[in-house]
Amino acid sequence: MLTLNDYQRRFQQFALQSAVRRLLPDTRVSSCLRRLSQYPNKKTPLYLSFVKVKQSVQHKKTFFTGLDVCGSVWVCPVCSAKISERRKAELEHLLVTHRAQGGELVMITRTVPHEFAHDLKTFLTSFLKAEKILKETTAYRQLIAKVGVKGTVKVLEVTYGQNGWHVHTHELFFIEKGYSRLYGDLSGLGYDEEERRYHVPARAVYFL
């Protein structure tokens, strides 16, 4: 697997940003890092604004200041990389702190079978509706109380391949104490005592 160095990764981010600018010329990303900033006072004349080149003492990386940024984690490859790194550090701090206090972690991934003919808007709406219905059930709420969920971190991912759109979520649960069948219960799966296996409840299938 090819591994990019820092320079190649940054070059790729700006190349992708240029492509996004051409596709979305009327959005904030079109001027990201390409226009002088008037921060913090928008009334400051542009001729008094200027760009500086600085270097991080901690990371030894060079960067610009004095330019507008769009701050879009969803659309801008450059801003997304910066924001993701900060969130990664915050999440790592949460994990360490929670475990130090005796807590446990459970990662749940939810997805459904998909086909090329599935329309993304309809498919995504149905998927999120089914997940919402699951979390509103009495059984699910009792389960959350039982294991002492302190909080969750969830990310929605949508990818595209030869079978069409693939929608799935990853959700990290910060809990007090788990048990052997917790993974399946949090996933929204039913458990068959005789066959000793999990299955998808009929109600969830109906909405998907």
| Class of the domain covering 103-207 | alpha beta
pLDDT digits (tens, 9 = 90+) for 146-181: 888 899 999 888 888 888 888 888 999 998 887 766
**pLDDT for residue 198 is more than 50:** no
pLDDT for the residue 208:
38
CA of residue 23 relative to chain centroid, distance? 23
Whole-prediction pTM value? 0.69
CA-wise closest residue to 75 among 113, 4, 21: 21
- Give Cβ neighbours of residue 28 (< 8 Å, ≥ 6 apart): 70, 71, 72
Q: What are the residue ranges spanned by the domains of the chain?
A: 6-86, 103-207
pLDDT digits (tens, 9 = 90+) for 89-147: 999 999 999 999 999 888 888 887 777 888 888 888 888 888 888 888 888 888 888 88
Q: How far apart are CA 187 and CA 154, in angstroms?
A: 13
